[in-house]
Amino acid sequence: MTKIKAGIINVTGYAGIELARLLYRHPMVELCSVSGRSAAGQKIADVFPHAADIRLSIDADVKDVDVAFSAMPHKASAEVILPLFKKGVKIVDISADFRLKDAGDYPKWYDFTHPAADLLQQAVYGLPEFHRSDIANAVLVANPGCYPTGALLALGPAVKAGIVHPDIIIDSKSGVSGAGRSLNLTTHFCEAVDSVSAYALKGHRHFPEIVQELHGLNAGLDLSVTFLPHLIPMTRGILSTCYAQVKDGALKSGGGELMELYRDFYKDEPFVRVVSSPPGTKHTWGSNLCLIHPYFDNDSGRIIIISAIDNLVKGAAGQAIQNMNIMMGWPETTGLEALPVYP
């Protein structure tokens, strides 16, 4: 069996080393090249003792690969993957650099002018549950953000079916690993522990991504979305609670009809489970699963959709591998079969 050669650009971040952990056991992949300029010349074991079995040195650049995963920060990611893209290397970009279709959104939300705006329309937004057929033919896939993954999967069936009014509220809570591995006062132990805090009230960078994809599901819905993230003192996980008012007569039999809508929408999806009780983030820890619980509140006429994911797996590295599997024509569960770690 011939394996493809894979590389990870910036293995030294949380998403990068999670990619290495998952790719190391992938039966169709040889992880042969990793980069991380801050740790160039060191072995992976020197930086991450838990990954000592991955006997690779960290180089300054990724070379001689068939597929590359970029876990670079925004702007830097686009710059480093362009030479690989021009060589025909398949790319899964975990940064935000190719998620938004409108180049004008990048100065507003990410404070830079896009260096390859002509590629934005070629890049495929890598949420398999919405764009599987496009991903299969893609050379460049933009891996979704962690917050959008949970929110979009929660809201997708209701928005596409047109059963809700445009005013939507998304309340998301994330573990501190979502902020990355760099030192930051906000995620300092003494600042984060025993505390829950809201942030980005003026607008989170994942907001335009959420609106873009919801609009793609139902262009006739003139959306008004409120998205507010919170920091929770835990390492992994995102819990999103989404609220929307149901249109009169849209759910004639109430909660049972809503549950049926969701289960039908996701019936063939290997990583989405529509569950009968509200999930917790611990139920997805270390897995590529998204657990969703849809609920219809008869008193208010609202639906409440709760989703839980591991932000480093389905919200980053696992979904990136799921995208690679689709791009290569393999079963998309390959290398991602592990059950969640519990408790």
- The whole-angstrom separation of Cα 126 and Cα 255 is 30
The pLDDT tens digits of the residues spanning 136-187 come to 999 999 999 999 999 999 999 999 999 999 999 999 999 999 999 998 999 9
What are the residue ranges spanned by the domains of the chain?
A: 4-122, 147-311
Distances (CA, A) of 212 to 101, 119, 185, 285, 329: 8, 17, 32, 28, 27
In contact, 315 and 285? CB cutoff 8 Å: no
**Domain 147-311, CATH homologous superfamily name and number:** Dihydrodipicolinate Reductase; domain 2 (3.30.360.10)
The catalytic residue among 32, 146, 190, 242 is 146
Identical fold for domains 4-122 and 147-311, yes or no, is: no
In contact, 274 and 266? CB cutoff 8 Å: yes
pLDDT at position 330 is: 98
Which DSSP string corresponds to 221-260?
S--EEEEEEEE-SSSS-EEEEEEEEEPTTS-TTTHHHHHH
Tell me the one-letter amino acid at 283.
H
Is 32 a catalytic site residue? no
Domain 4-122 class in CATH? alpha beta
- The whole-angstrom separation of Cα 174 and Cα 245 is 25
**With a cut of 50, which residues of the chain have pLDDT below it?**
none
Tokens describing residue 106: 């990048």
| Strands of 29-35's sheet in order across | 58-59, 29-35, 4-9, 67-70, 90-93, 140-142, 124-125
